[in-house]
Amino acid sequence: MARPTESGAASARKGRDLRLDFFRGLALWFIFLDHIPANWLNEFTIGNLGFSDAAEIFVFISGFAAAAAYGSVMQRRGYVIAVARVLRRVWQLYVAQIVLFVMATAQIAYVAAKFKNPMFAEEMRIVDYFVEPQVTLLQALLLKYHPAELDILPLYIVLLLSFPVILWGIARRPLVTLAVSAAFYAAVHHFHWNLPGYPPDTVWYFNPLAWQFLFVTGAVCGFAGETVRKWLPGPRIMLPICVVYLVFALLVVKTWMVPQLDALMPNWLGEVLYPIDKTGLDFLRYLHFLALAYVTVHFVRAHTRFLRWRIANPLVVCGQHSLQVFCVGTFLSFAGHWILVQANAGKVMQLGVSFAGLALMTALAYVLAWYKVVESAPAAGATPKTAPKRGAAAE
Amino acid sequence: MSARHLVAIAALLHGATALAADAPAATDPCEIPAYFHYLTDELPHVRQAVTRGETLRVVVVGSASTAGAGVTTPAAAYPAQLALDLGKRLGSERVTVAAKAKPGQLAADMVKEFKTDVIPTKPKLVIWQTGTVDAIRGVDTDAFADTLIGGIDLLHRAGSDVILIDMQYNPYSSTMINLEAYRKQMTWVSQVRDVFLFRRYEIMQYWHDNQILDLGATDKAVQGRTADFVHACIGQLLTDAILSTPELANGAK
Backbone angles phi, psi at B53, to 5 degrees: 75, 20
Distance separating alpha carbons of residues A316 and A311, to the nearest angstrom? 10
Q: Is the minimum CB–CB distance between A205 and chain B shorter than 8 Å?
A: yes
Find residue B97's DSSP bridge partners: B58
> What residues pair up with B125 in beta bridges, in sequence order?
B58, B161
Look at residue B70 and give its three-state secondary structure. Answer: coil
3-state secondary structure (DSSP) of residue B210: coil
For residue B57, the surrounding DSSP H or E stretch is strand B56-62
Q: Compute the distance between CA of residue A76 and CA of residue A72 in angstroms, rounded to an integer.
A: 6
Q: Residue B18: what pLDDT?
A: 39
Indicate the helix (H) or strand (E) that contains B24.
none
Taking only the tens of pLDDT, chain A with its 395 residues reads: 334 343 443 444 456 788 999 999 999 999 999 888 777 888 788 888 999 999 999 999 999 999 999 999 999 999 999 999 999 999 999 999 999 999 888 888 888 888 889 999 999 888 888 888 899 999 999 999 998 889 999 999 999 999 999 999 999 999 999 999 999 999 999 999 999 999 888 999 999 999 999 999 999 999 988 888 888 999 999 999 999 999 999 999 998 888 778 777 888 899 899 999 999 999 999 999 999 999 999 999 888 888 888 889 999 999 999 999 999 999 899 889 888 887 777 788 889 999 999 999 999 999 999 999 998 876 554 455 444 444 333 33
Query: Do A119 and B227 count as a contact with CB atoms less than 8 A apart?
Result: yes
Phi/psi-derived region of residue B39, left when phi > 0, alpha when psi is between -120 and 50, beta in every other case: beta
What ipTM was reported for this prediction?
0.85
Top pLDDT among B38 and B134 is at B134
Name which of B168, B178, B218 is nearest A114 (Cβ-Cβ). Answer: B218
A269 touches chain B (CB under 8 A): no
Cross-sheet strand order for the sheet of B125-129: B95-101, B56-62, B125-129, B161-165, B196-198
Across B87-97, b (16+ Cβ under 10 Å) vs e yields bebbeeebbbb
Q: Do B70 and A259 touch (CB under 8 A)?
A: no
C-beta atoms of A279 and B217 within 8 A: no
Residue B62 bridge partners (DSSP): B101
Does B247 touch chain A if contact means CB atoms closer than 8 Å? no
Yes or no, beta carbons of B172 and A115 under 8 Å apart: yes
Amino acid residing at B169: Y
**Option in B38, B69, B175 nearest A37 (CB):** B175
Q: What's the rounded Cα separation, in Å, for the pair B204 and B106? A: 22
| Integer angstrom CA distances of residue A201 from A194, A218, A355, B28, B134 | 11, 31, 40, 46, 12
Helix A152-161 with A163-172: angle, nearest 10 deg: 50
A174 near A216, Cβ under 8 Å?
Answer: no
The count of other CB atoms within 10 Å of the CB of residue B27 is 6
Q: What is the pLDDT of residue A325?
A: 95
The whole-angstrom separation of Cα A185 and Cα A215 is 11
Alpha-carbon distance values, A348 to A46, A142, A198, A329, B145 (Å)? 22, 41, 39, 20, 37
Nearest to B185, CA basis, from B177, B197, B176: B197
CB contact residues (below 8 A), chain B span 149-208, against chain A:
167-168, 170-178, 181, 184-185, 187-189, 191-194, 197, 199, 208
Q: Which amino acid is at A83?
A: V
pTM of the model: 0.87
Reduced 3-state DSSP string for chain A: CCCCCHHHHHHHHCCCCHHHHHHHHHHHHHHHHHCCCCCHHHHHCHHHCCCCCHHHHHHHHHHHHHHHHHHHHHHHHCHHHHHHHHHHHHHHHHHHHHHHHHHHHHHHHHHHHHCCCHHHCCHHHHHHHHCCHHHHHHHHHCCCCCCCCCCHHHHHHHHHHCHHHHHHHHHHCHHHHHHHHHHHHHHHHHHCCCCECCCCCCECCCCHHHHHHHHHHHHHHHHHHHHHHHHCCCHHHHHHHHHHHHHHHHHHHHHHHCHHHHHHCCHHHHHHHCCCCCCCCCHHHHHHHHHHHHHHHHHCCCCCHHHHCHHHHHHHHHHHCHHHHHHHHHHHHHHHHHHHHHHCCCHHHHHHHHHHHHHHHHHHHHHHHHHHHHHHCCCCCCCCCCCCCCCHHHC
